[in-house]
A and B are shown apart, each in its own frame.
Chain A
Amino acid sequence: QLQLQESGPGLVKPSETLSLTCTVSGGSISSSSYYWGWVRQPPGKGLEWIATIYYTGSTYYNPSLKSRVTISADTSKNQFSLRLYSVTAADTAVYYCARHEVHLWLPVWFDPWGQGTLVTVSS
């Protein structure tokens, strides 16, 4: 059974870089059948897609965050990562990694999801 686990610092200072890693077990991120993505959820609020990556290295970003985000993958470790630069308090959220199904060569819905990790931006 596929499992995803987020890891990284729970506290980041304003203006610094948020770095998270998603470790995938029970499946390979090198599979051509899936994409891999990040979604966040500020406390008490809704879901926001951040970024998506394919095993080929193709990346897609939410236009509202594109200037501050990098998604990458390490197939040797079966992990993919997120870096969000110049964070502010507005970036405080639970960050989820998730697998995208593929349909007609494009990423579609998210399933399954990791349990999520809370990242707080505060000095």
Chain B
Amino acid sequence: EIVLTQSPGTLSLSPGERATLSCRASQSVTSNYLAWYQQKPGQAPRLLIYGASSRATDIPDRFSGSGSGTDFTLTISRLEPEDFAVYYCQQYGDSPRFTFGPGTKVDIQ
């Protein structure tokens, strides 16, 4: 099983700042098959990024994904008030087995 770890656990920032979230895999993720999701309280997760760097439909370009192998990054270039949420990474390189990271909470400083 591919285990994903995310860091930091919590990121305290102010609107307008840049957020950098990390996702590390216990082994190389095939073809960079990694997705990122955003989850707000009381809501279902929403797909942001797939294939490590491709934005999903209607996702603002302030969200970007990068990385390969075992190290991946989600960057939010300038935090908007609606971006304060929990972010999860998910690998599907081991499909049809899927694992999620434990999440990074981005909260308002």
Q: Which residues of A contact B (CB under 8 A)?
A: 46-49, 52, 60, 62-63, 96, 98, 101, 103, 106-116
Q: Is B50 an interface residue (CB 8 A)?
A: yes
Instruction: Say how far A123's CB is from chain B's closest CB, in angstroms.
Output: 27
User: Per DSSP, are chain A's interface residues mostly helix, strand or loop, or mixed?
Assistant: strand
Query: What is the CA–CA distance of A110 and B45 in the complex, to the nearest angstrom?
Result: 9
Query: What is the CA–CA distance of A108 and B47 in the complex, to the nearest angstrom?
Result: 12
A-B pairs with beta carbons under 8 Å apart, 14 shown: A46-B101, A46-B102, A47-B103, A49-B97, A49-B98, A52-B98, A98-B44, A106-B96, A108-B92, A110-B35, A110-B47, A111-B47, A112-B46, A115-B43
Q: In the complex the two chains form, is A47's CB within 8 Å of B44's CB?
A: no
CB nearest to A97 among chain B residues: B44
CB nearest to B93 among chain A residues: A108
Query: What is the CA–CA distance of A96 and B92 in the complex, to the nearest angstrom?
Result: 18
The contact string, 1 if C-beta is below 8 Å from chain A, for chain B 3-43, is: 00000000000000000000000000000010101000001
Q: In the complex the two chains form, is B96's CB within 8 Å of A47's CB?
A: no
Query: What is the CA–CA distance of A60 and B56 in the complex, to the nearest angstrom?
Result: 25
Q: In the complex the two chains form, is A49's CB within 8 Å of B99's CB?
A: yes
The contact string, 1 if C-beta is below 8 Å from chain A, for chain B 59-89, is: 0000000000000000000000000000010
Q: In the complex the two chains form, is B96's CB within 8 Å of A60's CB?
A: yes
Q: In the complex the two chains form, is A106's CB within 8 Å of B95's CB?
A: yes
Chain A residues positioned under 8 Å from B88 (CB to CB): 46-47
Q: In the complex the two chains form, is B50's CB within 8 Å of A108's CB?
A: yes
| Given A107-B92, A110-B45, A110-B47, CB of A46 within 8 Å of CB of B100 | yes
